Amino acid sequence: MNNSTLTQNWKRILSLVVLILVGFLLWNSQQQWLPAIKNGLENNQTKNEKSADSHADEDSHNHDHSGHDETSSLELSDQARKNIGLTSDKLIPVKLQSFTRTISIPAIVVERPGKTRVTIVAPMTGIVTNVNVIAGEAVQPGRELFKIRLTHEDLVQAQTAFLKTLGELDVENKEIARIRKITNQGVIAGKVLLEREYAKEKLEAILKAQREALLLHGFSNAQVDQIVKTRHLIKSHQIYVPILHDQSGEVQLPNQKIRRISVNPPSKKDKSSVSTKSQFIVQALNVSKGDFVQAGDTLCVLADYSDLYLKGQAFEQEEAELTRCMVNQWSVEAIQEGKDKEKKQINNLKISYLDNKIETDARTFSVFVNLPNQIEHENIRDNGNRFITWQFKPGQRMRLRVPVEEWKKEIVLPVEAVASEGAEHFVFQENGDHFDRRPVHILYQDQLWAVIQNDGSIFPGDKIALAGAHQLQMALKNKAGGGADPHAGHSH
């Protein structure tokens, strides 16, 4: 063997001896190092198991809350829900509905010019001998108001001329009858009979003209017929409540005999069937018994409150919106304040017209709305005088709620359901035990309601928090700037 071979052999023997010595030492000291190694292996296994469980929980959480984002989600306790008013009635599925934007303008109840008031004037000169009504009394068409003893000379002469013509016509008729009898016997020629008939026609023409003159003086057809029948002058004239025609507004005197209409209290059946049309009220009584009046003097003023106007005052810039309401024939609401600030709503009103004049100082114009009226109370005295109280009275103040814009098939929520931050608007959708914040686009918002565009940010059927949106937004901001996220591990 050479030297190199011997050296390699010795190295191998030496390595083997060292390995045997090290193994012997480790075996003798295994009670010291073996427990430490076992503990280290067990700790690594426990960490791996916890890590696997954590990932399993996160997978399960994401599966239960689809679309859930911790940065825009809140979990509330039952006490917190109660604190911000999220009761069961404030968590209901939303649905598509219509919403109408309105403007509010002040208004006052006014009379309808040319229709509400009817002025009764004296048709002839004379002395008032009877006043058959009292101020404030309700009267119906045909009721006798006044009786006037005629003293005007022209009227007396007109009646006298009419009576004279009637007498002459009677004489002419008798003469014609006599001539016809003689003519049949061949004594008088037919020319004489023809001349008499011509004279009769002239008298009839004059009588017709005189009859029209009496009608122009204020007599009715019944009164003229009475002169023809009795052949006596009319010494007094009765004035009745006129008939007001609903369609044309024309006022006519009743064509009836001269008599006072009975004012006995109606029976219970009659009370329930009394019509509110042409229920006049004696608004003003200008004469008393014994007064001397001339033709044209005002005797009384009657008022028919069955149809009135609501006169609103709108600003100049609101004209286009009010015109749109009138063109679309949208219904207008009137709000009337009652006792103890109780508010009554009058619905289904229509704008009649807009005034074409704008006030130069206030820059406002008038809006006229039809206001149908009805009798609220009725009182009948023992003597038959009847008094009524209308529901609406000229001078009452109200507010008009006029629709000017309408949205259809959109989501309408209370303003308490919307939180704002800068240009963003949010609502909070219930998602399991969490509330997720959803950005929305607001089409319109006022003091009570917010119209949300149906663009897919939320859907009909989603449960939205209808209250406490501002508190939820503040809690979400505090969460973002507060403690560490529990899903991100421990913080030291």
Q: Which two tokens stand for residue 26?
A: 């480790």
Identical fold between 75-99+407-480 and 117-245+277-302: no
Looking at residue 310, its pLDDT comes to 96
Residues 25 and 6: their CA atoms lie apart, in Å, by 29
Q: What is the chain's pLDDT, residue by residue, as a tens digit (492 residues)?
A: 555 666 677 777 777 777 777 776 766 666 666 666 666 665 555 555 545 454 444 444 443 445 556 677 888 877 888 888 888 778 888 889 888 888 999 999 999 998 899 999 998 889 999 999 999 999 988 889 999 998 888 888 888 999 999 999 888 888 888 877 776 655 566 777 788 888 889 999 999 999 998 888 778 788 888 888 988 888 888 888 887 654 444 455 554 443 333 333 334 444 433 444 568 999 999 999 999 999 889 999 999 999 999 999 999 999 999 999 999 999 999 998 766 566 788 999 999 999 999 999 999 999 999 999 999 888 988 888 899 999 999 999 999 999 998 888 889 998 888 998 888 999 998 888 788 899 999 998 888 889 998 888 888 888 898 888 888 888 888 877 654 444 444 444
- What architecture does CATH give domain 117-245+277-302? Beta Barrel (2.40)
* pLDDT at residue 267, rounded to an integer: 43
For the chain, the domains span: 75-99+407-480, 117-245+277-302, 307-405
Give pTM, 2 decimals: 0.62
Q: How far apart are CA 144 and CA 241, in angstroms?
A: 6
Q: What is the CATH number of domain 75-99+407-480?
A: 2.40.420.20
Q: Which residues contact 218 (CB under 8 A, 6 or more apart)?
A: 123, 124, 237, 295
pLDDT in the model for residue 44: 59
pLDDT of 265: 39
- In this structure, which amino acid lies at residue 360? T
